Structure 1
């Protein structure tokens, strides 16, 4: 009888599990997503198969895009602490060769969180990509971070809403590139236009 009860309990859990997972990751869940649909919490967790307005690509397709004419613009959005008007970096960051590193631009609350909204992070993202693409909204842009990382998903959504037309999402990002034995290079964060505007901390 006890075995039967355990079996029934296991079946019940199996039936309820997909529903609970879906409820926790639904794109309209206010615990995880803003009213505008950006991910705002648990950035390192499983991502969907696609991102708004973009084509999801794998490593082989990324290589093809890099070798195309014009080569795709690679944008890395992995976070980096920004304090007192400057990025605080203690360890080198390795990304795809030639990547444009725009930290923090994949956060979901850039427009409504006081700490981030006091600076124009969205303008930083759009301005740097526009400059790198010569202002061509149809220039191919590839966005990445790491595997199970919603930062790149947010950034792709932000770029699509801004009108960029050829967007690619490297869903597993740097982790997938490195796992395939591809070379990485040390990249530096591109300083935002509001860098060094905050006075240094005094003691």
Structure 2
């Protein structure tokens, strides 16, 4: 009888494998988080997920803040970095893109890993829009919970722009607040080669 009870207890009792030496659940989580970022600290995966409250080198702004900036700074440059598939020298649009009024749409520039043509596309356009003045105010956005604008903002900070504003809540929050929008067209690249970029 005792032998039977012991056998039943062994079947019912939960068991777990011993932890691999040197690894813990916390360690595994940290390794997983690290895989989401490049060596330069840009987010490279899971772009639509909760973002931090701030980005180094920029001021995080709300919808009301952005509206106020637009009123107070007519020279504010607004950059929209929502992705759009680009193949064989053209962007593939299947529906109109509504943007904050006056925004300049530079798709695919918020990726964590940019090859040289896309990096130049971002930097050359922002330089032209700011007329080479790195103290001119620049606001960057995509959607809510989107790392693309976080990456692009940080990249501009890394390239010397000093008056940066990150609209963390993005175009969907702008629309939900009843703010005006207008259709935007992507700024066409002038690539010497034809890189491709898929929506992500």
User: TM-score category by the smaller chain?
Assistant: 0.7 to 0.9
Match of 1:8 in 2: none
Q: Does 1:144 align with 2:141?
A: yes
Match of 1:109 in 2: 113
Match of 1:54 in 2: 58
Give me the whole-angstrom Cα distance separating, in 1, the residues matched to 2:164 and 2:29. Answer: 27
Question: Could you say if the C-alpha distance between residues 21 and 152 of structure 1 is closer, same or farther in structure 2, counting changes exceeding 3 Å?
Answer: farther
How many residue pairs were aligned? 170
Question: Could you say if the C-alpha distance between residues 99 and 21 of structure 1 is closer, same or farther in structure 2, counting changes exceeding 3 Å?
Answer: farther
Q: Does 1:64 align with 2:68?
A: yes
Question: Which runs of 5 or more structure 1 residues have no equivalent in the other structure?
Answer: 1-18, 111-116, 199-203
Q: 2:169 aligns with which of 169, 172, 175?
A: 172
Q: 2:81 aligns with which of 58, 77, 81?
A: 77
Question: What is the DSSP-based 3-state SS (H/G/I as helix, E as strand, rest coil) of the residue aligned with 2:72?
Answer: coil
Q: Does 1:89 align with 2:93?
A: yes
Question: Could you say if the C-alpha distance between residues 23 and 66 of structure 1 is closer, same or farther in structure 2, counting changes exceeding 3 Å?
Answer: same
The TM-score normalised by the length of structure 1 is: 0.78
Q: Does 1:23 align with 2:30?
A: yes
Computed over aligned residues only, the root mean square deviation of the Cα atoms, in angstroms, reads 2.1
Q: Does 1:134 align with 2:131?
A: yes
The within-5 A match list for 1:25-40 is 26=33, 29=34, 31-40=35-44
Question: Could you say if the C-alpha distance between residues 57 and 151 of structure 1 is closer, same or farther in structure 2, counting changes exceeding 3 Å?
Answer: same
Q: How big is the shift at 1:47?
A: 0.2
Give me the whole-angstrom Cα distance separating, in 2, the residues matched to 1:99 and 1:89. Answer: 17
Match of 2:186 in 1: 189
**What does the per-residue CA deviation read over 1:6-45, in whole Å, with 9 as the maximum and x for residues that have no partner?**
xxxxxxxxxxxxx69973785xx1x200111010000000
